[in-house]
Structure 1
Amino acid sequence: MLVYAAVGDSLTVGVGAWPGAGLVPQYRALASRAANAYVESMSFGMSGATTGDILRLVKFNPRLRFILARADIITLTAGGNDLIRAAKQYARKQDPLVFPEALRECREHYAELVNTIRALKASRGSRYIIRAADLYNPYPAVPEAALWVKRFNRHIDSLQCGNFKIASVYSPFVGREKELLSVDGLHPNKQGYRVIAEQMSRLGYRPLL
């Protein structure tokens, strides 16, 4: 048996899809097939959570820290709400500094989040994997949206190292937004989550398997 802990925002919750059709159950099924073993999943998703919210959860929630320290597989979804919040602030204030400041904070929080999880895994050696997804763009008609999503993705891509890898979901969603997003136009539907889960699975499971 393998233990899978999922941490993140509404994508970890599975908002936009029916129960059992979100990211966590779909990735769990793919991991179970790859390992030819039962995978027990535990989800710590918070709708609306920013990278700062998720960082605080990982740093101060004893149960989550206990589970992360022992998990074989960890997935992470974070960052989308930081940019959405910045977009709303920009709409109110028209302040061009809103996006750079949001991206700076997001970068700092994401890096600390990954380092905190790595520290919790120090006693596990190399027998675990951390998988995350970059951001897709739910607002393809807004030029500024693509710009800041791409800048965020470049940053988290730079954090990849060893056990931690980033699945690219930006490109698979381009031009397929109506097909892959739910009726709210923001969260993935079942097929959208399937794309994200498959992209994560394509990264492989070494050195765990």
Structure 2
Amino acid sequence: MKVVRSFLITCLILAIGTFIVFQGLNLVMNKDKIQENKQSANPKQTIHFLAIGDSLTKGVGDSTQNGGYVPLVANQLKETRGIDNVTTKNYGITGERSDQILKRVQQQEDLQVDIKRADIIVLSAGGNDLVQTFKKEKLKINQESFLQPEKKYKNNLSMILKKLNKQNPKAQIYVFGLYNPYDSLFPEMTEMKDILLSWNTATKLIAEENKATYFSLSSLFNGAERPTISKINKSSEKIDTSSLLYEEDLFHPNDKGYQLIANELYRAIIDHKKISD
């Protein structure tokens, strides 16, 4: 009888021990699965950042000669949670008008390859269209002289964006507006302000029609007040436009100007990402 009782107790202990071990293994496996699910739900991304355009895209005025705002935004994205790596391609060419940029988008094979793989595309165009008109008019500002160039620019911009959307409908596209580099030096040039307003209004409308985001540079460079970059001090500060410009030409942004562009563009990208998520 004692032998039978001992046998039964031994079996019971073994059964309880086996149950405990099984439940422990089950718990560990479930934790691993939960962790795997969390990692698969929030995978780290590689972002392909593509910049297309004129001298503003190329980064003229950047003392490091590394490409203006492009590497600055890339570095900020790399430090963002959930982003593992950022690749950049800069197709900025100094002096190009919107029709020349359109031609490259339509015909340049390596550019087309990068358009198809891009997650973010930033476009700057139109500045040299304006400059060309100024030169033809011998620097005189006559609003009527800019009507036909604006019409051509609008058509070129629309075709560029349609081509980008066709080649890569999933890309997040940003279109830079234009700013007035002479705003602080010649505030009495009201005609210039009217011309830029017309061009920027058209740019914003065309961008929205083509599922792109309009990025205002005039609000950064020509706004009387703008928010400070500091997250701590949320008050407003007045900035002289000339302090953001390259000293050698007083036209392109300097390091401070490119940093301002990069900071605001980064915020726009992250805000767009939050909405998409």
TM normalised by structure 1 equals 0.89
Match of 2:79 among 9, 22, 33: 33
Contact 1:75–1:132 under 8 Å retained in 2: yes
Deviations 1:72-100 (A, max 9, x none): 11111111111111111112788764211
Distance 2:139 2:241 in 1: 26
The residue correspondences of 1:16-165 to structure 2 (distance < 5 A) are: 16-18=61-63, 19-20=65-66, 22-34=68-80, 35-91=82-138, 97-122=144-169, 126=170, 128-140=171-183, 141=186, 142-158=189-205, 159-160=207-208, 164-165=212-213
Are residues 1:185 and 2:232 paired? no
2:215 to 164, 167, 176: 167
Q: One-letter code of the match for 2:216?
A: S
Q: Is this contact kept in 1: 2:134–2:140, CA < 8 A?
A: no
Segments of structure 1 that go 5 or more residues without pairing to the other structure are none
SS in 1 for 2:201: helix
Name which structure has the greater RCO, CA cutoff 8 Å, separation 6+: 1
2:58 & 2:147 partners in 1: Cα distance?
A: 28
- The unaligned stretches of length 5 or more in structure 2 are 1-45, 225-239
* Alpha-carbon distance between aligned partners in 2 of 1:168 and 1:93, rounded to the nearest angstrom: 25
Structure 2: distance between partners of 1:86 and 1:49: 14
The one-letter code matched in structure 1 to 2:68 is G
| TM-score, normalised by the number of residues in structure 2 | 0.68
Number of residues of Structure 1 aligned to a counterpart in Structure 2: 205
State the percentage of identical aligned residues: 27
201 and 92 in structure 1: CA distance in 2 versus 1, 3 angstrom threshold: closer
Provide closer, same or farther for how the CA distance between residues 92 and 17 of structure 1 changes in structure 2, counting only shifts above 3 A: closer
In 1, Cα distance between equivalents of 2:74 and 2:146: 34
Answer yes or no: is the 8 Å Cα contact 1:132–1:200 preserved in 2.
Answer: no
Shift of 1:197: 1.7
Q: Tell me, what secondary structure is at the counterpart of 2:111?
A: helix
Large movers: runs of 4+ above 4 Å? 92-96
Cα 1:201–1:70, aligned 2, differ >3 Å: closer, same or farther?
Answer: same
Name the amino acid aligned to 1:139: Y
CA RMSD in angstroms, aligned pairs only = 2.1
